[in-house]
Amino acid sequence: MAERIRRIAVCTGGGDAPGLNAVIRSAVIAALRHGWEVYGIRDGFNGIFFPERYPEGGVIRLTEQRVRGIAHLGGTILGTTNKGNPLHFPLHMPDGSVQEVDRSDEILQYFARQEIDALISIGGDGSLTIANALHKKGLRVVGVPKTIDNDLDKTYTTFGFDTAVAFATECIDRLHSTAESHQRVMVVEVMGRYAGWIALHAGIAGGAHAIMIPEIPYDIDKVAAKIASREGMGRHYSLVVVAEGALPKKGQRSLAAAAEVGHSERLGGIGEQVAQSLQSLTGKDARAVVLGHLLRGGSPTAFDRLAAMRFGTAAVRALASGKNGVMVALAIPNVNFVPLESVAGRMKAVPLDGDTMHTARELGISFGD
Ligand code: F6P
């Protein structure tokens, strides 16, 4: 039987996603009903590593009052970082070089010192891989799946994805009229890292004519041919959605910045490249629009808000029933719990034989293959 819980901590890690505050609020309220104290760690684990940076404290008490009225707000009241992986923490040396150090033991020591019995870690694959490592070292941990990219395995969806897709779809809708008025090709670059979920879902919903996703290396000539065939039918404009991680058959992924210690490579720039190529191949005017971090902002949709609240309360339910080393997952119509081990370090790509892909193909959308 698991030891009784008196205190838990919550942290948010990696890129922010709409719904983080709804998870925090629901977890706090559910935990308070058990009589537990709840603490929030600032900026991933930085609140533990650098308490001097936080006048209010690097780890703050989360009361009902503190989480009131936040469920609909984007961002995270705790702050987050995607540069502070405790397992590979960047240490700046006096000679200017940067080395990696493992600071995970400091987290366990902090929890022991403060008599905090468990951690709810809200994050994507990076944060959940860290959570799994902390669990293996003896920390009681439950993970909550967050990311706009929807690339986490073992859950039907992550919170944040629906909001990103809804916004991207609205943007594509808006681009239709200007594309048509000017008889142009509009190329919309969306986030998603190495998975094409956002591009695929928003592309279909927004009526795109071509979608390029990392799972299907594309041939730009095929996309140009699609645009030319539309011209032949008297449709003098086209909408193309490109995932930031899209991969040309001949060439490389487009990087905005190379990887550095403590931070993975940053994708970006493919939209402009595709627009320029399509302009020269089709002779049509082409423009690129990069949605970027706009997809991470704003109020969560009702779907994401509800998913976040279900995940937050389920995380507390898991701890209360003695579960440990698990992630809350959406297994429609219910939530369930899967081992963190089965999620850590894995990526959920778009299945090419799934019905969403069939839908796109049957609608005549080109993938450049
Ligand atoms: O994982 C979320 C995400 O927004 C990805 O879609 C994107 O590649 C990455 O984070 C961007 O990270 P940053 O905020 O460091 O630019």
| Candidate list 16, 149, 153, 162, residue with the active-site label | 149
* pLDDT (average), residues 258-276: 92
Whether the full predicted model's pTM is greater than 0.85, yes or no, is yes
Q: Rounded to the nearest whole angstrom, what is the distance from the C-alpha of residue 193 to the centroid of ligand 1?
A: 7
With a 6 A CB cut-off, is 192 part of the ligand 1 pocket?
A: yes
- Indicate if the pLDDT at residue 330 is higher than 70: yes
Q: Rounded to the nearest whole angstrom, what is the distance from the C-alpha of residue 338 to the centroid of ligand 1?
A: 25
pLDDT at 2: 67
From the CA of 148, give the closest atom in ligand 1: 2
Q: Rounded to the nearest whole angstrom, what is the distance from the C-alpha of residue 217 to the centroid of ligand 1?
A: 21
Residues composing the chain: 369
Give the domains, in start order, of the chain with CATH numbers.
Answer: 7-159+300-342 (3.40.50.450), 163-297 (3.40.50.460)
pLDDT at 285: 98
Q: Rounded to the nearest whole angstrom, what is the distance from the C-alpha of residue 34 to the centroid of ligand 1?
A: 36
pLDDT in tens, 336-362: 999 999 999 999 999 999 999 999 999
With a 6 A CB cut-off, is 254 part of the ligand 1 pocket?
A: no
149 is catalytic: yes
- Indicate if the pLDDT at residue 1 is higher than 60: no
* pLDDT (average), residues 295-311: 98
pLDDT in tens, 62-112: 999 999 999 999 999 999 999 879 999 999 899 999 999 999 999 999 999
With a 6 A CB cut-off, is 147 part of the ligand 1 pocket?
A: yes
- Indicate if the pLDDT at residue 252 is higher than 60: yes
With a 6 A CB cut-off, is 196 part of the ligand 1 pocket?
A: no
Q: Which of 146, 165, 191 to mutate to test the pocket of ligand 1 (most atoms within 8 A of CB)?
A: 191
pLDDT in tens, 198-235: 999 999 999 999 999 999 999 999 999 999 999 999 99
From the CA of 267, give the closest atom in ligand 1: 8
From the CA of 244, give the closest atom in ligand 1: 8
Residue nearest to atom 10 of ligand 1 (CA): 15
With a 6 A CB cut-off, is 315 part of the ligand 1 pocket?
A: no
With a 6 A CB cut-off, is 40 part of the ligand 1 pocket?
A: no
Q: Which of 76, 82, 296 to mutate to test the pocket of ligand 1 (most atoms within 8 A of CB)?
A: 82
Q: Rounded to the nearest whole angstrom, what is the distance from the C-alpha of residue 182 to the centroid of ligand 1?
A: 32
